[in-house]
Structure 1
Amino acid sequence: MTPLRRLLVLATAVVLLAGLGTAFVLHAVSRADDKNKPRAGGPVVGAGPVTLDPKPRQVAFVNGAPGPHRTEVATVPAGSADGSRTASGLKCARFYAAAGTGVCLQSAVGVVSQTNRAVVVDAGLHTLRTFSLAGTPSRARVSPSGHFAAWTVFVGGESYGAAFFSTRTSIVDTRTWTLTPNLEAFTILLNGQKYHAADINFWGVTFATDDDTFYATLGTGGHTYLVRGSLSRRTVTSLVQNVECPSLSPDGTRVAFKKRVLAGASLWHLYVLDLRTLKETALAEMHSVDDQATWLDDHTVAYALPKEGAVGTTDLWSVPADGTGTPHLLIPDASSPAPL
């Protein structure tokens, strides 16, 4: 091949590669644009003032509807949860709120790294304090008084169904801003004995009303346990096995949780545990639920399920807490419910 012919072949290859690169970029931009376009027949979402005050009664959540307000904290009236929603402008991967205090877990992917942080906000969603996170956001909760916020992140692995994963769970006092960076520093009483192991993980904190007691999941040795913790004593004590992502009822007597139904598989069923009798009641939802359920009131729990035909999007469902009834679509295109 002559030098001129080689030059012509090289030039043609460069042009073809440039064209392919442009096509890939345009396709990616088109996919991104489609993701941010409002879906025909989807929920009506509009920007407006959002407050975490308990009046009027509302449900706050992370909006998942396509459009410019996707991933923003939004609210709807509690009595018409499938109606028009008001978006706040605050973008979160996970969110929860109580008593005028909110915690927003954010994850932003940059050019060379990913930035994760927890943002504690007031009733007007103004930032009070920001904390760097050691991993990808997973769970968030605020105590009924608003005096404590907790969050769990993945620092290794990306799913509770993975063979190997590592979490870090933190709690902050929103009055003094004293931070407990890792619950693994607490003394663990497992089956009545002090316990320590290299594979300890905590996740899914839920708070009682006394500003001291909390419940969480302890994972170790291939098993999961419901533990009751004391913030003042810095201890956790195991109660029962095979409990994940507990959520304490408003009256403090029951815990909604997900229970693995097949060893080694990412399949969970929703249950409610009576803390007085330790009796478990299976709920009427038949789908596998990988979420920390939220009590809407003393009789109903809400949770997220993947939306059919939409990758990466969830709907919020609700079901009676006594095992009766049938699941009800609560808020489409949404996650992280917080009844205000």
Structure 2
Amino acid sequence: MAVLVAAVLVLLGGSLGYVLHAQQRGGGHRAVAADASFTLDGPGVYYRDAASGRVARRGGPADGPSCERFYAAGDRALCLRALPGTPARTEAVVYDRRFTVLRTVTVPGIPNRARVSASGQLLSWTTFAVGDSYAVSGFSTRTSILDLRTGYLVKSIETLPLTVDGARYHAADVNYWGVTFAADDNRFYATVSTGGRTHLVEGDLKAWSARTLRENVECPSLSPDGTRIAFKKKVSADPAAPWRLYVLDLADLREHPLAEPHSVDDQAAWLDDRTLAYALPAGEGGPGSDLWSVPADGTGAPTLLAPGASSPAAVLTPRG
């Protein structure tokens, strides 16, 4: 019993610290709405500014809403906020292009991943229920999908019938995270963890099913042309630096590492078909993380996009 209690305390230590930190930030950076002039009408790279906790467009002020995680595509934006109090809860807020609130959903856990389909019609978020890092064994996640076309919310995609290595699979420890959507607004990719292993899965919303494609793929991000998956691959047992950023070709499932030498604990975002953006811990004692970019073909070198930033999203010119 003592061993069990100790293990739980280890798991919750990071999570509790994150929650308390979020609450402290909430005291200084209370949840505020976007300024009236802040919209998605200007194409560019949007991200969360660490100093203010608000969303900014690269080259402009941080006048967007306050978020812990952010993503935008099509005519929609998704903001995840850590709510005060315990147990940990997350508020998922859906906005239109002018940051009018369309829907708000409260779910248990700590904000972790946010994604919007290219059309803006499908949204997904992941929260941590236990622990605050994928490097911590025994963590638990909850991943939701919201379809704005019908208004239907899937609170947890763990109910998906799962096929692993060609066989129907059942286990109590199945966890999904890091959804990324295909252009057809039906297929999606995500990570599933079970039995101590992680897999890339391809999901089908209409068929309500998922199947594994490859092992050791976490936090996938589908390229705009739909041909490649950027992901973090576990390459080391060192909990301080376990991952490297890779790209997988879906046609032949061949992979290659990118030029970023540091461990990346993020769901990278495609700025275009050639470039990826991602967050790394801030340098020189800066707040939160810094935003970097790197070529997707494995060449070149990382480039600093924005200091004190995270949750990148490339927003295109409004349709029509």
TM-score, normalised with respect to structure 1: 0.80
1:161 matches 2:135: yes
Q: How far did residue 48 of structure 1 move?
A: 6.5
Q: AA paired with 1:93?
A: E
2: CA distance, partners of 1:162 / 1:211 = 32
2: CA distance, partners of 1:96 / 1:276 = 27
CA-atom RMSD, angstroms?
Answer: 1.9
Aligned to 1:305: 280
Structure with greater Cα Rg: 1
Aligned to 2:37: 49
1:75 matches 2:57: yes
Secondary structure of 1:103's aligned partner: strand
2: CA distance, partners of 1:228 / 1:109 = 35
Question: Residues 89 and 252 of structure 1: is their aligned pair in 2 closer, same or farther, counting only changes over 3 Å?
Answer: closer
Aligned to 2:158: 184
2: CA distance, partners of 1:136 / 1:103 = 15
Aligned to 2:14: none
Bigger relative contact order (CA 8 A; separation at least 6): 2
1:172 matches 2:126: no
Secondary structure of 1:199's aligned partner: coil
Range moving further from structure 2, 311-320 or 203-212: 311-320
1:255 matches 2:243: no
1: CA distance, partners of 2:187 / 2:135 = 28
Question: Residues 176 and 134 of structure 1: is their aligned pair in 2 closer, same or farther, counting only changes over 3 Å?
Answer: same
Among 193, 196, 199, the residue aligned to 2:167 = 193
Aligned to 1:128: 102
Aligned to 2:260: 285
2: CA distance, partners of 1:147 / 1:51 = 18
1:106 matches 2:81: yes
1:54-97 CA-to-partner distances (Å, cap 9, x unmatched) read xx321111111x3xxx1111112xxxxxx3x2223411000101
Stretches of structure 2 lacking an aligned partner (at least 5 in a row): 1-23, 316-320
Q: How far did residue 192 of structure 1 move?
A: 0.3
8 A Cα contact 1:307 1:333, kept in partner: yes
Q: AA paired with 2:45?
A: V
8 A Cα contact 1:247 1:255, kept in partner: yes
2: CA distance, partners of 1:309 / 1:198 = 43
Aligned to 1:207: 181
8 A Cα contact 1:270 1:289, kept in partner: yes
Alignment of 1:195-274 (within 5 A): 195-263=169-237, 265=239, 266-274=241-249
Aligned to 1:58: 44
Q: AA paired with 1:158?
A: D
1: CA distance, partners of 2:56 / 2:36 = 9
1: CA distance, partners of 2:87 / 2:286 = 24
Q: How far did residue 115 of structure 1 move?
A: 4.1
1:83-135 CA-to-partner distances (Å, cap 9, x unmatched) read 3x22234110001010110110001324x664421001110111100101111
Secondary structure of 1:329's aligned partner: strand
TM-score, normalised with respect to structure 2: 0.85
8 A Cα contact 1:293 1:302, kept in partner: yes
2: CA distance, partners of 1:114 / 1:338 = 26
1: CA distance, partners of 2:96 / 2:220 = 25
8 A Cα contact 2:129 2:142, kept in partner: yes
1: CA distance, partners of 2:226 / 2:82 = 32
1: CA distance, partners of 2:99 / 2:243 = 33
1: CA distance, partners of 2:108 / 2:39 = 29
1: CA distance, partners of 2:74 / 2:256 = 29
8 A Cα contact 2:90 2:127, kept in partner: no
Stretches of structure 1 lacking an aligned partner (at least 5 in a row): 1-30, 37-45, 77-82
Aligned to 2:113: 139
Q: How far did residue 309 of structure 1 move?
A: 3.4
Secondary structure of 2:190's aligned partner: strand
1: CA distance, partners of 2:287 / 2:156 = 29
Aligned length: 285
Secondary structure of 1:90's aligned partner: coil
